[in-house]
Structure 1
Amino acid sequence: MARPLGATHTREELAIPTGLMGLRGRSAGHLPPGDKMTLLDVALDCIRRGWYVFPCIPHSKQPLGALVPHGWQDASSDEATVRRWWAAKPDANVAIACGPSGLSVVDCDHGSATEADARAWMERAGLPKTYTVHTGRRVNPKDGTLEYGVQLYYSESMPSVGEFSLGGGTGQIKSLGGYVMAAGSIHPDSGEAYEVMIGGHIAPLPDVVRSLKTERKPVEDDGQPITENRNIRLTSIAGKLRNAGLSAELLETTLLQINEERCDPPLEEEEVQRIAASVSRYAIPAPEPMAVIGKSAEVDTSKDAPPPEKQARPVYPIDVWKDTAYGEFGSLCSKGNLVPPKFFIESFRTVIGAIVGDRLRSDIHGVHARAFTIRIAPQGTGKGTSDDFTRSFFLQEWDGLVRSGEASLIWSKSSEHHWKSRGLGAWLVTPASAPGLLKAITPKPLKKNETPNPLDEWRPMPRVMTMAEEVRQVFANFQNESTGAGLESVLCELYDRDSFTATATKDRAPESGELMYSLLGGITPEGWVGVFSKTGSTESGFLSRLNIVGTERTGTVPTLIKPDFTSLRRRFLPMVAALEHKEVVLNPSEEAIARMGEWFNSFRLADGVPKARLNIHAWRTALHLAWLKGHSRIELEDTEGGIRCAEYLGKMREWYAPPEGETRAARAEAAIRKVMRSRVRVTVRELKAATNSKKISVSDWDKALASLVKAGEMRIDVSKTGKKTVILLKQED
């Protein structure tokens, strides 16, 4: 039977279990040899004292939604239920629901650097000695200073306190509606265990704690990273957004975006959704009445309807990469700056795809590890930083599985041939044309009496990557009728396969080649619109091959701190190097295939936005996930992750689609209308010359004229000799 909220336990009833007393300095996950205590034992010890527990995600404070969908409200003291939970997830963290357990816990995170400091603070604040846990927090994530967090347990529950200040220490009171991690659980940030600092009985709730109230501090939304009190800060921001008139749906989307880009580390998606749902319960305030001095004007009530809300920018599913090397890289790089983690994650993934070539693939047509990734963001928002950090990870010697001092896995000089013949590694090249790309990979002729160097031969074929903070010039080359169209066609081919043909021109014969190509570039939103309104790339299919990530945030930090990649490099790069000796071919399970088909057939985008190749993007992401997780095939969970990333990509296509009127076809229509208004009747040949159709592109010009004819603005008459004449029927207002 559940204990009523607020019930008080006796001192004898709340004697601390011996199992938890033994957890000082260690955790259930870090026990000495021979010590058999598990996290299940921790949970059982808690419920034997009448405490209500529930499982959290391993190394996290987030409730394990699959087992406790309502979080702390599903907490139980039933032994059978607890055993069932930890049988399903043995490494789940143990959380104690304070209210049902009759507890008030003083959770003081800031103000102490050592145990001596913490004890001095307790005495200074007048807090009675009681059972106390040293939390897993070890340093302040904002400035790296040492911190000694403590949690003091008192019997009797009370309203929780969001933020208090007492005797030089700050923190929260966790009681009704709150929960704490039991000693033995692992802290999500430090990886250290919660451990008993002071054992013994739990003291009654003292008046000094009972009288504490939430300290209201103004929260200035300065756009800086949110490293402390993330839940409180997001709740405050959500309140301001709700008061500004955001609907529940738009509030959730906006809050998820703020969490993704500013919280360090981000909160779990479910926690952010709960914040948004909680704040959305409050009605949007009515506008303040306006005082009118003098005679009021007539009001057109037909215009009273509020304008439609702007579509919220899609939220990148960052949790897809949780507990993977890609996610860890993104977290390391984004810590302490304003660059969104997704830029680092997608940059890292793209470079890995270029490095592994065909050593990581699937038998599904078009599914390999490579990508064409474009980061769209304003100037100074991290495109170059994500390039630099990613380069620095790979542009160093490192220790492999069989040798130390391995050469870097990416290089810019063609003479650096350490990995060419070994099936791994990528050469950084920026092509200006299709012939230029072909020339770059063609070996130089041998000089007289010179013998070829086997190490300088690509095996099985060149692995080339373009990595540019500003990739606009590469796209702009597409406008060049003699070289650009050929380059665009070649890149489209290289997305799908490992061979290409450079189209013939009046100056050259068609040429072909083989290589594995990857693209990582950045561009501003203005540059993006400019490029895609002046090229036929949306119609050519090139847009459908791009992996688009974007942000609109602005702001910088005074100093960028370069991450320490030592540990991640030591653990991850040997996994990459292992592909030299054994390729990995991962094919999907039947369930994964069925799920992908179901999703792709039902997924819809706005009219005019291509859905093409989203399934290929999803499979390529799933391939990476399956490899990172050590799966022997692409499992259903990998496929779900791939689908979430592909849905984000589809929404990004909608978000960054060239505005109506700024495409080449739209500009061709405008040019045709302008000429026809003055001439009314003109031959097709004369109309093409007057509107410079070759500059627009003949195909787009033809589409524009056909569209105007279909709309009834013009008609085309054909004479007996085949001459076509365009006649203006009506003029557009």
Structure 2
Amino acid sequence: MTQPDTLNIALDYAARGWRIFPLLPGTKRPARPNHRERDCTGTDPRCRNSHTGWDARATTDITRIRRAWSSTVDSPAYGLGIATGPSGLVVVDLDTHKPDTDIPEPWNRFGIRTGEDVLDHLAGAHGGTITPTFTVRTPSGGTHLYYTAPEGVRYGNTAGTIGWLVDTRAHGGYVVAAPTVLGSSSYVVTDDRPPAPLPWFLLDLLSQQRRTAPPAAPKRLDARPERVPAYVAAAVSGEVRKVAEAMPGEHNHTLFCAAVALGQLVAGGALAEHTAYDALTDAAHVLMAGGCRCTPGEVDSTIRSGFATGARNPRIPNTSRSAA
């Protein structure tokens, strides 16, 4: 795609009030800043006073947008990111089933294989409808549904907690926007109508999560690594490191995947649930202290959802290995 195409689309998004920022060519990663907060030296002009992440750099300013896509050799190939929360959006990310993964119940029993079908089922179960809205097809065959967020309500991100293969992006998150290219495919707008208000059944589902979220950080428990076999402790440390070092925009997904991996060990009897929970919440709080806008309630919900998913495929300890 040529520079004028990408630039003009970026300017069109900005005119809609959507705050955008460039992504590194061929990736989902923000082009700026090119460092984590912990590695910030203040040499980046926008970090002179303090670290300034992608969310603070997202903009609707025409001058800044033109400069971003014309300042370097790589800039014409930059992808487009939209900061969902500041743009007043809740984007529903509908994925597709990966052939080498199990289909959880009850979806397997229903013959459901895609996030679109899951959302359709949830809408029917709650007496709602999926309102036609601005829609994007992703390179993997998934779908992004763009909805306007209700006034005065701040939603965070979710990963599989509403339903299998259904994630949402709002405050603290972003989506890769069309016409960004990944590999040999690109994000494509399939319905260019203005975003519709978030459907009532999704408002109810997201509001239920807000009501059940604890008001404060989860209680921290005493969980010493030496109480588990060395290889289990190493697995815990590895997943914790992934969470603490997650790139912006991938926090919730990384936390969920880590919770699934440790949930398998919990279900297999190799690890106490409170030990895994404490380790993951500590790592998530590192992200929150570093500028991630997820709430303790969202962290708790993501971890417990990951544990439930992991429990469906327990990892039984190798007794000879654990005795070594």
Deviations 1:678-700 (A, max 9, x none): xxxxxxxxxxxxxxxxxxxxxxx
**Does the Cα contact within 8 Å between 1:110 and 1:171 map onto a contact in 2?**
no
3-state SS of 2:28 partner:
coil
Looking at structure 1, the residues matched to 291 and 60 of structure 2 have their Cα atoms a distance apart, in angstroms, of: 27
**Does the Cα contact within 8 Å between 2:157 and 2:171 map onto a contact in 1?**
no
Instruction: After TM superposition, give the deviation of residue 195 of structure 1 in Å.
Output: 0.9
Q: Is 2:5 the counterpart of 1:38?
A: yes
Looking at structure 1, the residues matched to 205 and 157 of structure 2 have their Cα atoms a distance apart, in angstroms, of: 7
Structure 1 partner of 2:59:
76
Looking at structure 2, the residues matched to 94 and 160 of structure 1 have their Cα atoms a distance apart, in angstroms, of: 21
**Does the Cα contact within 8 Å between 2:10 and 2:65 map onto a contact in 1?**
yes
3-state SS of 1:53 partner:
strand
Structure 2 partner of 1:204:
197
Q: Is 2:147 the counterpart of 1:154?
A: yes
Q: Which has the larger radius of gyration?
A: 1
Looking at structure 1, the residues matched to 92 and 205 of structure 2 have their Cα atoms a distance apart, in angstroms, of: 10
Looking at structure 2, the residues matched to 107 and 98 of structure 1 have their Cα atoms a distance apart, in angstroms, of: 12
Q: Is 2:78 the counterpart of 1:92?
A: yes
Aligned ranges 1:449-464 → 2 under 5 Å: none
Aligned ranges 1:665-680 → 2 under 5 Å: none
Q: Percent of pairs identical after alignment?
A: 27
2:169 to 174, 177, 185: 174
Looking at structure 2, the residues matched to 98 and 62 of structure 1 have their Cα atoms a distance apart, in angstroms, of: 15
Looking at structure 2, the residues matched to 231 and 205 of structure 1 have their Cα atoms a distance apart, in angstroms, of: 26
Q: Is 2:87 the counterpart of 1:101?
A: yes
Question: Partner letter of residue 58 of structure 1?
Answer: P
Distance 1:278-1:102 versus aligned 2 partners, 3 A rule? closer
**Does the Cα contact within 8 Å between 2:118 and 2:166 map onto a contact in 1?**
no
Unaligned runs of 5+ in 1: 1-27, 30-35, 138-147, 256-272, 283-553, 556-733
Distance 1:78-1:122 versus aligned 2 partners, 3 A rule? same
3-state SS of 1:77 partner:
coil
Structure 2 partner of 1:427:
none
Aligned ranges 1:431-450 → 2 under 5 Å: none
Looking at structure 2, the residues matched to 274 and 61 of structure 1 have their Cα atoms a distance apart, in angstroms, of: 19
Looking at structure 2, the residues matched to 119 and 170 of structure 1 have their Cα atoms a distance apart, in angstroms, of: 8
1:135 to 129, 134, 138: 138
Structure 1 partner of 2:26:
59
Aligned ranges 1:117-128 → 2 under 5 Å: 120-124=117-121, 125=123, 126-128=129-131
Looking at structure 2, the residues matched to 245 and 156 of structure 1 have their Cα atoms a distance apart, in angstroms, of: 29
3-state SS of 2:139 partner:
coil
Instruction: After TM superposition, give the deviation of residue 159 of structure 1 in Å.
Output: 0.6
Deviations 1:70-112 (A, max 9, x none): 1112211010011111112222111111122111111122459
Structure 1 partner of 2:308:
none
Looking at structure 1, the residues matched to 277 and 170 of structure 2 have their Cα atoms a distance apart, in angstroms, of: 27
Distance 1:70-1:235 versus aligned 2 partners, 3 A rule? farther
**Does the Cα contact within 8 Å between 1:112 and 1:118 map onto a contact in 2?**
no
3-state SS of 1:59 partner:
coil
3-state SS of 1:41 partner:
helix
Distance 1:48-1:278 versus aligned 2 partners, 3 A rule? closer
Structure 1 partner of 2:126:
none
Looking at structure 2, the residues matched to 235 and 41 of structure 1 have their Cα atoms a distance apart, in angstroms, of: 41
**Does the Cα contact within 8 Å between 1:108 and 1:169 map onto a contact in 2?**
no
Looking at structure 1, the residues matched to 76 and 255 of structure 2 have their Cα atoms a distance apart, in angstroms, of: 27
Aligned ranges 1:305-384 → 2 under 5 Å: none
Looking at structure 2, the residues matched to 234 and 161 of structure 1 have their Cα atoms a distance apart, in angstroms, of: 16
Distance 1:221-1:205 versus aligned 2 partners, 3 A rule? farther
Deviations 1:272-331 (A, max 9, x none): x8578469xx9xxxxxxxxxxxxxxxxxxxxxxxxxxxxxxxxxxxxxxxxxxxxxxxxx
Worse-superposed segment, 174-183 or 37-46: 37-46
Distance 1:127-1:70 versus aligned 2 partners, 3 A rule? same
Distance 1:128-1:112 versus aligned 2 partners, 3 A rule? farther
**Does the Cα contact within 8 Å between 1:161 and 1:212 map onto a contact in 2?**
no
**Does the Cα contact within 8 Å between 2:59 and 2:65 map onto a contact in 1?**
yes
Question: Partner letter of residue 81 of structure 1?
Answer: R
Unaligned runs of 5+ in 2: 35-45, 47-51, 100-112, 124-128, 214-231, 243-249, 263-273, 296-320
How high is the TM-score relative to the length of structure 2? 0.51
Aligned ranges 1:490-505 → 2 under 5 Å: none
Count residues with an aligned counterpart: 208
Looking at structure 2, the residues matched to 130 and 210 of structure 1 have their Cα atoms a distance apart, in angstroms, of: 16
Deviations 1:428-453 (A, max 9, x none): xxxxxxxxxxxxxxxxxxxxxxxxxx
Looking at structure 2, the residues matched to 97 and 85 of structure 1 have their Cα atoms a distance apart, in angstroms, of: 16
Looking at structure 2, the residues matched to 84 and 59 of structure 1 have their Cα atoms a distance apart, in angstroms, of: 20
Question: Partner letter of residue 10 of structure 2?
Answer: A
Deviations 1:197-256 (A, max 9, x none): 33323211111111224599xxx999499899325445898x96895699x9xx7xxx9x
Looking at structure 2, the residues matched to 108 and 221 of structure 1 have their Cα atoms a distance apart, in angstroms, of: 34
Deviations 1:153-200 (A, max 9, x none): 11125412322455x64232111222111111123xx55211123332
How high is the TM-score relative to the length of structure 1? 0.24
Structure 2 partner of 1:308:
none
3-state SS of 2:59 partner:
coil
Deviations 1:114-151 (A, max 9, x none): xx9666555433321111111122xxxxxxxxxx3111
**Does the Cα contact within 8 Å between 2:94 and 2:114 map onto a contact in 1?**
no
Question: Partner letter of residue 97 of structure 1?
Answer: A
3-state SS of 1:47 partner:
helix
